[in-house]
Structure 1
Amino acid sequence: MADESNNTPVFQIQRMYLKDLSLEQPNAPQILLEQTQPQVDINLALAAEPVSEGFFEVSVTATVTTKVGDKTLFLIEAKQAGIFEIRNLPQEQLEGIIGIVCPQMIYPYLRAVVSDVCTRAGFPPVILSEVNFQAMFEAQQAQREAQGAVN
């Protein structure tokens, strides 16, 4: 633990873990005989919340939906999380670390989990592409500012 009496900035990973994992193959085994190239849809979501004073849980969730026509081949939802100790930072720096740095650290683990689950389910791995979390964060900030201007 850091000594809270000084104001030295603190940023440490406390733990990285797989928080949630789901695999569904609702149309197996019949759909496994299909020879058609599947459509893959990937959605990412970020979440962060304080756990206790100076500790934050940050998570990145990937939802991978693969369909052949209108039938689901498989659906994977994986949530990778980390607990980070972050102290003595100005609010704008804190938001940047939680919205950019922490997800960048978590994301490689999430990519590995999704790829591994696909392989274990009997499919070629789905490799999640690299994500520019800084661009995502800046877009969210701009959207928030625009909504604030409208209200």
Structure 2
Amino acid sequence: MADETANGAAGAAPEAGNQPQFALQRIYIKDASFEAPNAPQVFQEQGQPELQLNLGQKVAGLGEGVFEVVLTVSLTCTLNGKNAYLAEVQQAGIFTIAGFDAQNTDALLGTYAPNTLFPYARQQIADMVQNGGFPPFLIQPINFDQIYAESLRRRQQGEGQTDTTPDAGHA
């Protein structure tokens, strides 16, 4: 037992400096817009609104182990073929990632970062829609793990087709 404790303690000290780190430095709105091009006439329209939600994500390196992740959420509402509103927000965050291999870094940027940013983007969209005079709209939770897994599968299929230049599809 004493040997296990000594080995565990001795092993913990050197690893402390090499522990993988994932930290959120800042969350901010990079861009936000709301348009109601057919107001005020659209408020008199009757019918079932059609909603279209689009998501996008960009990752940019800012320095050694520092990344900006921008989650773009766009919500378009049409009523009787006319645009009622368009709400879009680019919710961004700066993340520090150190001590992870490339695969885990990619996974963190593709899953954990957008999961962190999403509640802020969702709230901004909800506030803009309601402040624009429309009924409140709350975006349902998004499974970014599933989206990332699908993206990873597509990348792997693409790389399998272009064995000689794996980065050709990313240029």
TM-score by length of structure 2 reads 0.82
- 1:46-97 CA deviation, whole Å, 9 max, x = no partner? 1111112111011111110000122100001111111011112100110010
SS of match in other structure, 1:12:
strand
Aligned counterpart for 2:81 among listed residues 61, 65, 70: 70
Identity %: 34
Structure 2: distance between partners of 1:23 and 1:47:
21
Structure 2: distance between partners of 1:128 and 1:55:
29
Structure 2: distance between partners of 1:24 and 1:137:
30
Which one-letter code corresponds to 1:21 in the other structure? A
Structure with the higher strand share, 1 or 2: 1
SS of match in other structure, 1:67:
strand
Equivalent position of 2:38 in the other structure: 27
Which one-letter code corresponds to 2:54 in the other structure? N
SS of match in other structure, 2:18:
coil
Query: Offset of 1:12 from its aligned partner?
Result: 0.8
Structure 2: distance between partners of 1:116 and 1:27:
19
SS of match in other structure, 2:159:
helix
Structure 2: distance between partners of 1:18 and 1:40:
23
Which one-letter code corresponds to 1:107 in the other structure? F
Structure 2: distance between partners of 1:94 and 1:107:
19
Gaps of 5+ in 1: 1-5
Which one-letter code corresponds to 1:27 in the other structure? N
Q: How does 1:48-127 map to 2 (within 5 A)?
A: 48-127=59-138
Equivalent position of 2:7 in the other structure: none
Structure 2: distance between partners of 1:98 and 1:56:
8
Equivalent position of 1:45 in the other structure: 56
Which one-letter code corresponds to 1:46 in the other structure? Q
- 1:90-140 CA deviation, whole Å, 9 max, x = no partner? 001100100001111110111111111111111112211111111110100
Structure with the higher helix share, 1 or 2: 2
Structure whose CA Rg is larger: 2
- Relative contact order higher in (CA < 8 Å, ≥ 6 apart): 1
- Structure 1 stretches of 4+ with a deviation exceeding 4 A read none
Do residues 9 (structure 1) and 20 (structure 2) align?
A: yes
